[in-house]
Structure 1
């Protein structure tokens, strides 16, 4: 993961609640072995018509939002199945942060492992942001993770709370594997001194 300290990007609104992972990346597009390429099918049945042409009415296909990297959306985003591919699709498409009143727990956990920052704000604050966005399509937001603030030209800085452990991982640009490798020597030392009956495959013991 790359460190996420401050980030500035344009905003796109999808003002709907309970957007589930099957909407984010439909089941038929889960056959890829790698994490990349899923962005092409992000929200496929909202972005495309039945004949494969672009749905020009859908917000992600509108010119004002073609470079948007911050998603503003409704509560309970990422509900449904636990597929991590949903996070891969959002990140591969270009999103680096999502702002919502709430997120599904498994989706939140998957996002923290893949560098997609989730920011939860009170619903009344979200409504104000939607209102700002309606008057200023694609307006820019600056996220200051170190100081836990969101800034723009249209409102006073907004404070947000975030789990301290998740914040630390983003600021340092590390994931769970990196955290494990930091204590590799302690793990190896522990394994070396485990009783044989607990560790039957220790070299030279069987």
Structure 2
């Protein structure tokens, strides 16, 4: 997993009726017809498919990620309860395949939130009014934001700074680029020592030769 430390990049606001879009479920993020693969590549073609594609299959020029200035956005600004719905790890995979490594929202669905950390995406929670201001700025001429995980700070194009909370363990893993398995392997010596002691203390649990 790629480490996340400081990200400076284009922020794309996902809007609906002038406000960051809320209750975006995982089927909207990556519809079910794109879930046949078990690989993490090529999923960006299905990302927000119903939003970025017209009924006739042509590209919707009004969708934010179809606009040239946001085509390489690495930050997504959205509304409340992002990632709700069914549990599908393809949702963060699709965002990563698009190049999005940070999502800013007032709240996230729990499973999606956890899956982000497992796949190297930083989910940043900020108050509703702050997210609305950030989305408005991202919709302007300058939409380059900086997200610093070490200092837990989002810096907007006008220089304003907003702090966010993050679990210390998850922060450490992201900074080091460790998923749950990688984090476990940092204690490989201790695990090996425990297994050796366990075999000596409970030999009857060992498989017969």
Which residue in the other structure is 1:129 paired with? 134
Aligned residues: 201
Cα distance in 2 for residues equivalent to 1:28 and 1:196: 50
Which residue in the other structure is 2:150 paired with? 146
Compute the displacement of 1:164 (Å): 1.0
Which residue in the other structure is 2:5 paired with? 5
In the TM superposition, what are the counterparts of 1:48-197 in structure 2 within 5 Å?
48-134=53-139, 136-137=140-141, 139-192=143-196, 193-194=198-199, 195-197=202-204
Compute the displacement of 1:182 (Å): 1.5
Of 56-65 and 181-190, deviating more is 181-190
**TM-score, normalized by length of structure 1?**
0.91
Cα distance in 1 for residues equivalent to 2:157 and 2:38: 42
Of 46-55 and 25-34, deviating more is 46-55
Cα distance in 2 for residues equivalent to 1:157 and 1:11: 15
Compute the displacement of 1:85 (Å): 0.5
Compute the displacement of 1:151 (Å): 1.2
Cα distance in 2 for residues equivalent to 1:123 and 1:23: 21
Of 30-39 and 184-193, deviating more is 184-193
Compute the displacement of 1:54 (Å): 0.3
Q: What runs of 5+ residues in structure 2 fail to find an aligned partner?
A: 15-19
SS across alignment from 1:158: strand
The root-mean-square deviation of aligned C-alpha atoms, in Å, is 1.6
Residue 26 of structure 2 corresponds to residue 27 of structure 1: no
Alignment partner for residue 41 of structure 1, among 42, 46, 50?
46
Compute the displacement of 1:76 (Å): 0.5
Which segments of structure 1 move beyond 4 Å, counting only runs of 4 or more?
Answer: none
Cα distance in 2 for residues equivalent to 1:33 and 1:159: 36
